[in-house]
Structures are given as C-alpha cells and as structure tokens.
Amino acid sequence: MMPIKDNRVDGYLQQLRKKRRRDNRSSELLFAVENILRNGWLISGIACFVAMCGILYALSVTPIYESNILIQIKRSAPLSGELQADLPAATEVEILRSRAILTRVVNALQLDISIEPKLFPVIGGFVAARNPDISSPGLFGRGGYVWGADRVRLANFTVPPGLQRRIVTLTVTARDELTLSENTSGIRLKARVGSMAKLQTKYGPVTILVAEIRARPGAQFMVSQRPEYQVVEQLQRSLAISEKVKQSNVITVSLQGSKPELVSGILNEIGAQYISQQVSLRTAEAKSQLLFYDQQVTESVKRLRELDVKINQILRRFGTSDLSEEERILAQQSVALKAKLDEKEQRKTELAGRFADGHPEIITLTTIIQNVRRDFDEVESKRRMIASAQHEILSANRDKQINSEMNIALVNARHKLDALLLSNSVNIRWVDRAETPTQPTTLGLNVMIAMSCLIGIVLGIIASMLKNFIVAHANGSRGFLVGRHFVISDDISDWKNSDKLRKKASQA
C-alpha cells in the first residue's frame, strides 16, 4: 500500500510544479508588458516623432501615375502583292523608342519647356492639388506661392544655349500680362497674351509667346528650357515598351509620371506619331512603286505601238492586209504554172523526136516554157517572201500578246496601288489609347500616415525594451530587468525566490 500512496503524492507534486511553471510564465509576460508600458512617454514621443515625419513625407511626396497604350502589328500583304515576312515585334519596339518618333513628340507637346507654379515647401503641393480654383498668391501676400489650379500656358519659349537649364521666374503682373526675369543674367522682359516678346541678351535672343494666363497678379511660375536631345533621352529611358505576349505582335507602351494628363498625352502622341510615320512610309512606298509601274506601263505601250508599226509596214510592203489570202492565191498560181510548165516540156519532148531544134513549133514551145518558168520563179519568190513576212508577223504578234498581257497586269497593279494610296491603310492597329489615370501607383496618403504611425509605435516599444535591458545590464543583475521587476527564468526554484529578487531590485 505504501508505494501506491507515494505514487499519488509524486503525481500531485508534478501537477503542482506544472501549474506553478505556467503561473510563472504568465507572471513574467505580465511583468514584461507592464514594464514596457511604464516607459509610456518614451513610446509616445518616438511614435509621435516618427508619425510626424511620415505625415510630412506623405504630404510632400509627389504621387506617381501610370498609363499605357496597346498597338497591334497586323499581318497583311505588301503593296506589290508578293510574299513578305511578318514584321517582328522587336523591330517595332525599337522604332517606337527611336529618336525619329520621340523628337516629334517632344516638339508637338513642348516637352523641352518646363513650367511649374511656385509652391510652398512640403505642404504647397498637397494644398494646390486639392484646390480646383484660382488662389490668392503668396503667404500673407508675400513670396508669390500658388495654392490652387493657377496656370500659365506658353505657345513659344526659346532661349539661347547659354541660358538653357536655367530657371526663369514668370510673375503675373496683370490679368493678361506677366514679367519674365532671371537675376543671374539680368534678364527682365514683359509679355502680353497673344503678343510675341523678344529680348536680345549677351547669350542670344530670348523669345516668349504667352497663350493663356489663369492666375491672379503676384503669382509666380518657374520656367526653363532644356536641350531637345536631353528630353528625348530621358523619355527613352522612361518608356517601358515590350511585347505583351511572346509572338502575339501586340506591343504595350507604358509611362509613369507625376502629371496624369501629361502622361496620357505623351502616350497618345507617341501612338499618333507612330501611326503617322507608318502612313508616311507606306505612302512613300506606294508612290515609289506607282512611279515604277508608270514607267513600265509607258514602256509597254511604246513597245506595243512599235510592234503595230512593224506589222503595218510588212503588210504595206505587199500591198495587202491579209498575207494568208495572198499566200493562198500565190499557191494556186504556183500549182497552175507548174502544171502548165510540165505540159509544155512534155510537148517539147514529143516534138523534139520528130523535128529539129530549129523547127518553128519547137522554137515557139521553148519561148513559152521560158516565160512560164520565169512566171513560176517569180511566184515562188513571192511565196518565200510572204512566208518570211508571215514569220515576222507571227513573232511580232507573239511579242504583242506578251506585252499586252504585261500591260494589263501593270495597269491592274497600278489601280490597286491607287486604291491603297487613297485608303491610307497600314498594317498597324491602335488597339487601346491611353486614358488619364486617376489612381496613383504609389501608396496613398492615408496608407502612408497609418504606416508611419504603426512604425512609430513599434519603434517606441523597441526603444522601451532596449532601455529596460540597458538599465538591467547597468545594475549587474542576472535577470532581465523591466522597470522595477526582474523577468527571470521559469525554473521552480527561481520562482520561489522571486519575492527576494524583487526586494533586491526595489532596493537597487
């Protein structure tokens, strides 16, 4: 009976130890949380500081927008109708990125001219983006800061190379008048809406043509002109051009920027310039082929006329329009003369047996035979000439038929080219145009503020724990000191002595 009782006691003690170990762990966690929160001012200070920094960053950061266009390369027959390999998408990607296209885009949209309103640091952009009205410029009437949808649009702005990349200030002085100034070079020029203003400087002429002023007097704008090649190179680096799916011949062109209207405008202008270039190239190709076909048709018609003249000359030589009929008549004459000649020669042979050569009948037959033979030879000569002429006419008719068929084919091809030229058809289809994006690709203001607050709280808790650790280490304790208490191991003996350790910690 005694062993059974001892086993029950041991089991009870083990359960008691497990329970105390769980209570010890719970108390340690509570001690840790309590002593971390005892540094509330530290946590609050760090959280507020990080949150304020995040809010200032969120207000000052410029949202980035993205848009794209889709272009399909269609498989179509070439202008001339012969077989032609499909255009590879990689080739068209490089053409879309080429300076020939982007230079025209830069010139059409005046991307080399940068004009921005003067904004108050940090919060100026945030306030102006949310104010659709024209603002009262300046801060307490000073500084020329813009707080709304104020804008100035320039139809032309040209500066010499020595002044490129320099920021010039535009100050609105009246409803339709502004002043252009640059302190370093001493430039000061007044300009009115719709009137070209020009100023000669030591660097060269400066010209400006104001198209629109939508701001109150005192508002300032910062304008500069960059070299065209730099703008083109920057645009080349900014464009993301790729084939959407391999071997699909569908190309996507994407662009990111801080101005959604400008982003979509640039992409649509790229698409328009690309299609325009394709139309121009196809038109030039069609005109070149039209010129070639015109030359071939002209030569073919000339050859046909020469063959007609040759045939007419041959017929005129024999005084007839039908050599076949003439050949038939001559053949009948030849047969008749041959028969008559044979008859007369036979008659002469019969008479030669009875009479001498000087007999009158023999002399008469000899004369007749000579005349008939001469006529027969003349007819045979004409027949040979007509046979040669027929051969020439046959060859000429064969050439005429070939040239006539060639002329018909050339004329048909030219008519097809005329139709294609009038239709302006190209093997490129603009599938999707760029829409003005409304949602930025970067994090929104609310998300950035929430993240900064969360990061501030986490950093505050880490700082509080680090402070507790430093204090515990400075006191030389074995445990982890949190505030006035030690968070110690979950050994049962340490748990039993925790009150003594707390007393030592309070004395320390």
**Range of weakest confidence among 82-91, 92-101, 265-274, 430-439:** 82-91
pLDDT of 66 reads 92
pLDDT of 476 reads 56
Q: Is 80 exceeded by the pLDDT of residue 194?
A: yes
pLDDT of 495 reads 40
Residue 113 structure tokens:
């001219």
231-288: per-residue pLDDT in tens? Answer: 999 999 999 998 887 777 888 999 998 889 999 999 999 999 998 888 888 777 777 8
How many CB atoms are located within 10 Å of the residue 127 CB?
16
**Is residue 55 a contact partner of residue 449, using CB atoms and an 8 Å limit?**
yes
CA pair distance 350, 342, nearest whole angstrom: 12
- Compute the mean pLDDT over every residue in the chain, rounded to the nearest whole number: 78
Question: Which pLDDT band, with edges at 50, 70 and 90, does 498 fall under?
Answer: very low
Q: What angle do CA 243, 248, 251 make, to 5 degrees?
A: 30
Task: Give 29 or 487, the one with higher predicted confidence.
Answer: 29
**Is residue 194 a contact partner of residue 179, using CB atoms and an 8 Å limit?**
no
CA pair distance 308, 321, nearest whole angstrom: 13
CA pair distance 335, 87, nearest whole angstrom: 72
Question: Which pLDDT band, with edges at 50, 70 and 90, does 104 fall under?
Answer: very high
Mean pLDDT, residues 306-324? 73
Q: Which residues contact 114 (CB under 8 A, 6 or more apart)?
A: 222, 223, 224, 225, 226
pLDDT of 480 reads 44
pLDDT of 468 reads 76
CA pair distance 263, 282, nearest whole angstrom: 29
39-69: per-residue pLDDT in tens? Answer: 778 888 888 998 888 888 877 777 889 999 9
pLDDT of 265 reads 93
Percent of the chain with pLDDT over 70: 80
Q: Is 50 exceeded by the pLDDT of residue 485?
A: no
Run of H or E residues at 255: strand 250-257
Q: Is 90 exceeded by the pLDDT of residue 340?
A: no
Q: Is 80 exceeded by the pLDDT of residue 25?
A: no
CA pair distance 416, 438, nearest whole angstrom: 46
How many CB atoms are located within 10 Å of the residue 193 CB?
17
Q: Is 90 exceeded by the pLDDT of residue 357?
A: no
pLDDT of 10 reads 56
Task: Give 37 or 331, the one with higher predicted confidence.
Answer: 331
Residue 406 structure tokens:
């060639």
Residue 197 structure tokens:
């203003």
